[in-house]
Chains A and B, each alone.
Chain A
Amino acid sequence: MRTAFFRELLDLARADDRIYLLTGDLGYSVVEPFMEQFPNRFVNVGVAEQNLTGIATGLALSGKIVFTYSIANFPTLRCLEQVRNDVCYHNANVKIVSVGGGLAYGPLGASHHGTEDLAILRSLPNMTVLAPADPVEAALATRAVVAWDGPCYLRLGKAGEQPIHTDVPQFQIGVPIELRSGRDVVLLSTGAITRNAFLAAEKLQQQGIDAGLYSIHTLKPLAADWIAQVARETKTIVTIEEHTSIGGLGGAVAEVLATLGPPRARLVRISLPDSFQKQAGSQEFLTRGHLSVDALVRQVREAVQGI
């Protein structure tokens, strides 16, 4: 995803000299092409995320389209008040990019686990929140945030994710992308874990459960009307996210469903627990209890069977 993001960003920056890339001293071996091709529009501000975000705001208020780039919680939570007061309150054209969403940096420890970002960023006025499902969507999302006038948060996985899409889908901020149709259950997934959801849906098919799957690449603005429609037309909705159980995709969908009268779908939320990781381990190890393909198959099957 990171590679797809940078490839697309370079392409966009060639065509639009308003595009700046600011990093908080991270991005070894990935930011260099931008730095070399656009030295005036690349700024490493140092290990100073509050300043990073304030500078981005000042540049944006001067007509630039500014990407801030760092990993996990550094470009978001470390400087959350700058994101809120400077970027969002001024509706500044700043695009915050975090690599390593969820538990992608699993072995590095809780400091590097980006597991509450969607809930927190989603609550900020004027903020648009994107979590593309695979490298194909990551590239499309990069293009979309440049075209979108205003603050955006782009949550990326890390590197090496296998694409889900075999061709280039239509991508519009706020419009879910269908990855599979299915009539027994609708899976709504966000971010890189969608790959597991896709594989789980294939396994469920073999077990006689016909699961639809949609990439909810935009958490805000949420496709609330579309979700309400799905809730009326299906019995069970399952949300899947590599994020705490509070306030992310599951929370957002629950907010929509809670406003609907019957008949509406039952909602099952699959997420990370509301707790810190206490053991080191890979992304696969740390998510195995909840978000591995097999764990998803089991939970979706239970949801469909009403267990």
Chain B
Amino acid sequence: MNPANAEHLARTIRRDCLQMTHRANASHIGTSLSIADLLAVLYTGGLHVDPAQPGWDGRDRFVQSKGHGAAALYAVLAECGFFPRSWLETYCQDGSPLFGHVTHHGVPGVEVSTGSLGHGLSIGCGMALAAKHDGKAHRVVVLLSDGECDEGSTWEAALFAPHHHLDNLTAIIDYNKIQSLGDVKEVLALEPLVDKWRAFGWAVREIDGHDVSGIRASLSGLPFEPGHPSCIVAHTVKGKGVSFMENRLAWHYKSPKPEDLARALAELGEAE
């Protein structure tokens, strides 16, 4: 997990996700492509984790609250050696541990199962609180979708973390501005999103969620303000990296057909 390889890893995650969703005839390729760069940086030094000891007590806890981006998480875990790459071929297949929403059972490296939105930040609060009480130095990072910010429970947790000074907790929002049935601003406007988190007591930074060095710089600056939880609003593009999927709602649902897959892989270029 050499930090220099984040861009290469992100491309590999995207290739994996395309092949996984194609093979499984599965949805959510757009959302997986949206978070590939964030995950690539997290798993090349952004998080302190060890594939050889997934349950190591000192590990940073990563909670992917947007469970529908499971393909991307499984891909990064496999590429980093938490489990064999061959498992990716079983994604959503009969008998596989790799469900279409993030699942921890039998999947090394997955901290928490998600899938219903609005659960992850609360669990992250509990983990961060435990770490504080126990005097442990590890961090808790929760990745949320923008649509997930519709959930009341997200804001329950957003109130809690600053009140308890959980500066070991970081929320990253994958702000690709498209949710399940349309544009965020059309479905249920979140703006001014940064101001909302700031008003709740979070130290907030806005970044380009596809700029590897910018992502790394923000993660290395945690916590942004001692005594406050950190929030990274990552501006992203749904379907990023595949021109005909970018900013297209349909790819929240559609699975790449053979011709789509070939075209997308050609655009991304070779893994090596």
Contacts and interface: CB of A to CB of B under 8 A. Distances in A.
A272 to B, nearest CB: 31
A82 B123 CA distance: 10
Chain A interface size, under 10 / 10 to 19 / 20 to 34 / 35 or more: 20 to 34
Nearest to B104: A90
A56 B119 contact: no
Contact of B129 (A53, A59, A86): A59
B256 to A, nearest CB: 29
Interface stretch (A42-50, A157-165, A205-213): A42-50
B221 interface: no
Interface stretch (B5-13, B32-40, B109-117): B109-117
A172 interface: no
B106 interface: no
A271 to B, nearest CB: 32
| Most B C-beta atoms less than 10 A away, residue of A58, A89, A90 | A58
A196 to B, nearest CB: 39
A63 B134 CA distance: 10
B122 A46 contact: no
Contact of A62 (B104, B122, B126): B126
Contact of B130 (A45, A51, A64, A89): A64
Contacts of B104: 90
Contacts of A86: 119, 122-123
A37 interface: no
Given A81-B116, A82-B119, A85-B119, A54 B126 contact: yes
Given A50-B152, A58-B124, A85-B115, A63 B133 contact: no
Nearest to B126: A58
Contacts of A61: 111-112, 123, 126-127
A205 B122 CA distance: 54
B136 to A, nearest CB: 9
A57 interface: yes
Nearest to A54: B122
B24 interface: no
Interface stretch (B154-162, B230-238, B239-247): B154-162
A43 B152 CA distance: 20
A267 interface: no
A229 interface: no
A59 B113 CA distance: 15
A55 interface: yes
Given A46-B159, A90-B113, A55 B153 contact: no
| Most A C-beta atoms less than 10 A away, residue of B120, B127, B129, B131 | B129
A62 B119 CA distance: 17
B147 interface: no
Given A46-B160, A82-B119, A55 B125 contact: yes
Contacts of A59: 126-127, 129-130
A282 interface: no
A279 interface: no
B209 interface: no
B128 interface: yes
B113 A89 contact: yes
B223 to A, nearest CB: 18
A106 B243 CA distance: 62
B201 interface: no
A40 interface: yes
A48 B156 CA distance: 6
A45 B127 contact: no
A64 B131 CA distance: 11
A63 B133 CA distance: 12
Contacts of A46: 156, 159-160
Contacts of A62: 126-127, 130-131, 134
Contact of A55 (B112, B113, B129, B131): B129
Nearest to B132: A40
Nearest to A58: B126
B210 to A, nearest CB: 30
A64 B153 CA distance: 22
Contacts of A55: 122-123, 125-126, 129, 157, 160
A51 B131 contact: no
| Most A C-beta atoms less than 10 A away, residue of B119, B122, B157, B160 | B122
Given A46-B160, A48-B156, A63 B130 contact: yes
Contact of A54 (B115, B125, B152, B159): B125
Sorted nearest first, the 7 A-B pairs with minimum C-beta distance are A58-B126, A54-B122, A62-B130, A51-B156, A55-B126, A48-B156, A50-B153
5 contacts: A54-B122, A55-B122, A57-B122, A58-B122, A86-B119
Given A55-B125, A55-B129, 5 more contacts: A45-B156, A48-B159, A57-B126, A58-B127, A85-B114
